[in-house]
């Protein structure tokens, strides 16, 4: 049996599943300004919060 990358109780996995299933972003069950909410949004958006935006490639 293959192991899941995240525990089902992991807020990141919950956020990703919410997006996959078409739930709105405001469906997050965690309180505003909580670590769990931040993690849930990270999963929903599919972008780690500590990852800086990619810079444009320099051509030339």
Per-residue pLDDT tens, the chain, 60 aa: give them: 444 454 668 999 999 999 999 999 999 999 999 999 999 999 999 987 765 556 667 766
pLDDT of 41: 95
Q: What CA–CA distance (Å, rounded) separates 14 from 33?
A: 17
Q: What CA–CA distance (Å, rounded) separates 3 from 56?
A: 36
Extract the tokens encoding 20.
């996959």
Q: What CA–CA distance (Å, rounded) separates 60 from 49?
A: 31
| DSSP code for 28 | -
Pick from 31, 38, 33: nearest CA to 10: 38
Number of residues that this document lists for the chain = 60
């Amino acid at each position: 049996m293959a192991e899941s990358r995240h525990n089902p109780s992991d807020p990141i996995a919950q956020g990703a599943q919410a997006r996959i299933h078409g739930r709105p972003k405001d469906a997050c069950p965690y309180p505003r300004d909580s670590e769990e909410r931040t993690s849930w949004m990270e999963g929903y958006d599919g972008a780690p919060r500590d990852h800086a935006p990619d810079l444009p490639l320099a051509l030339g």
